[in-house]
Amino acid sequence: MKNLIRKILKEEVMYDFIESAMPELNNLKRKSNFSSNLYGYNTIYYNPNDKEYYFRVSEARRALVWSFDDDDDDEITKYKDLPKTLWIDGKTYDEIQNYIPDDNMILKWFNKKYKQDAKVLKRKSPLKK
């Protein structure tokens, strides 16, 4: 029971901390985008004041990937299922990691704050093309 209470308190403190320490992340606007090379269908979360992209959420999809067959070095293609992914700007990720070095907590905070259900967190710099 104590561990559950500690976990809940830690998560609540983390939510409040991100929102107070990084106010630029509180009221991000979003827009839909399509980038077939890396993100597929995705939603960009950006600050309208500084025009910075802070997050992207790429929808789950099936992607064609290339690899090599180890036996005869032939190039092969196959499909891979990619989960719904939260991409975070590298500078923003590093700043949050200074205080909260836990990817799962960042993912939970984002999903709760922006009503998403991303399954994986990935760092990418920059998020703008």
E-strand spans in 36-84?
Answer: 40-46, 53-58, 61-68, 75-82
Find, among 97, 112, 108, the residue nearest to 22 by Cα.
97
Tokens of 42: 């995705």
| pLDDT tens sequence across 63-74 | 888 776 666 666
Q: In which element (H, E) is residue 98 found?
A: helix 90-99
Confidence check: pLDDT of 101 > 70: yes
Whether 56 and 87 have beta carbons less than 8 Å apart is answered as yes
Q: What is the pTM of this model?
A: 0.81
Q: In which element (H, E) is residue 107 found?
A: helix 103-113
- Return the bridge partners of 46, or none: 29, 53
Percent of the chain with pLDDT over 90: 43
Residue with the bigger pLDDT between 121 and 19: it is 121
Q: What angle do CA 43, 113, 47 make, to 5 degrees?
A: 55
- Name the region of 102 (left: φ>0; alpha: ψ -120 to 50; beta: rest): beta
Q: Domain segments of the chain: what residues?
A: 2-124
| pLDDT tens sequence across 13-64 | 777 778 888 888 988 999 998 876 778 899 999 999 988 999 999 999 998 8
